[in-house]
Amino acid sequence: MSVDQKKLIIHPIPLFQTFGDKSRQTYRLNLGQPLALVNYVWYIEGTKEKILVDAGGSPDFLRKIGIPLEEIQTLDSGLKKVGVKFGDIDLIILTHLHHDHVAQASQFQKAKFLVQKDEFEFSQRPHPAVASSYVHDFFDGLDFVILDGDAKISDGISVIKTPGHSKGGQSVGIQTGQGLVIISGLCTIRENFEPPTFLARTHSVIVPTIHIDVLEAYDNLIRLKQLADKVLPLHDSHENLRYFDQNAVRFELPD
């Protein structure tokens, strides 16, 4: 029996927020403007398997490398709020293998980790320019399932290969009561998909500053906008997530 896709609900689980300059998210724009970026994992309710998107960053590691942050909740407490534990999770779809998306992966004892072939292969010997994003202690030895391009994962859930931010990034499509909601695999905020009026006349999207290929990143942001009824940016604020219909994305701040 297939899953009732109208009952698939995405639960963003915020872990912490980091602080910096908005220009790191909006290529060649907004220099000097402050910005907070939220680190999430995403639980998909209503599937046969228990599925997460991403495995969470490590506040301790980020502090160690000098990145200021504010903790929101632990991953353990966030999972409990949606009714699951580490040992319950069957599949984790990794948007990419940067440390802020995979640092807590080892806590999921039975999970299989779905990653694109290009991303996995690049992570084994990353280019020196971006090697610091790939911390092998966080992902060596995981039970990987290697994908090669777009793929159906489960009833109502698919991955879309969207490189540009990283060599083999992937986004996640979820059929919900609000239509196809896609969690962007490129590290984005809402403004990346909805440029301000003065720029929207010439740009349909704004590329994130952290990218491996600016043209590929731009084209894949466009692709996500064309495919999705709604796009969930990967690092957006709590406030911007609240514009989603609660039948599709259910967001609650921690106690």
The percentage of residues in the chain with a pLDDT greater than 70, rounded to a whole number, is 93
234 inside domain: yes
138 alpha carbon, distance to own chain's centre: 17
CATH code at position 28: 3.60.15.10
- The whole-number pLDDT of residue 1 equals 40
**Total domains in the fold of the chain:** 1
250 inside domain: no
Each residue's pLDDT tens digit, 99-139: 999 999 999 999 999 999 999 999 999 999 999 999 999 99
80 inside domain: yes
70 inside domain: yes
248 inside domain: no
Each residue's pLDDT tens digit, 32-47: 999 999 999 999 999 9
Distance CA 119, CA 131 (A): 13
One-letter amino acid at 251 equals: F
The predicted model gives 43-70 an average pLDDT of 96
- The whole-number pLDDT of residue 187 equals 96
Asked whether the predicted pLDDT for residue 202 surpasses 70, the reply is: yes
Determine the structural domain holding residue 77 and report its residue range. Answer: 5-241
pLDDT confidence tier of residue 199, bands split at 50, 70 and 90: confident
Each residue's pLDDT tens digit, 149-171: 999 999 999 999 999 999 999 99
123 inside domain: yes
172 inside domain: yes
The predicted model gives 67-85 an average pLDDT of 95
Gyration radius (Cα) of the chain, Å: 17
Relative to beta strand 51-53, strand 69-71 is unpaired
- The whole-number pLDDT of residue 229 equals 94
Write down the residue that tokens 């690092």 correspond to. Answer: 235
252 inside domain: no
Asked whether the predicted pLDDT for residue 172 surpasses 60, the reply is: yes
Asked whether the predicted pLDDT for residue 219 surpasses 90, the reply is: yes
**Which pairs count as long-range contacts for 128-136, CB under 8 Å and 24+ apart, including other chains?**
130/166, 130/212, 133/98, 133/99, 133/166, 134/97, 134/98, 134/99, 135/61, 135/99, 135/103
Summary mean pLDDT of the chain: 93
One-letter amino acid at 11 equals: H
Asked whether the predicted pLDDT for residue 243 surpasses 80, the reply is: no
Asked whether the predicted pLDDT for residue 251 surpasses 90, the reply is: no
Question: Which are the contacts of 207, defined by CB distance < 8 A and separation ≥ 6?
Answer: 27, 164, 192, 214, 217, 218, 221
Return the closest-CA partner of residue 15 out of 55, 61, 58, 74: 74
Distance CA 39, CA 61 (A): 13
- The whole-number pLDDT of residue 82 equals 93
pLDDT confidence tier of residue 62, bands split at 50, 70 and 90: very high
Write down the residue that tokens 């699951």 correspond to. Answer: 84
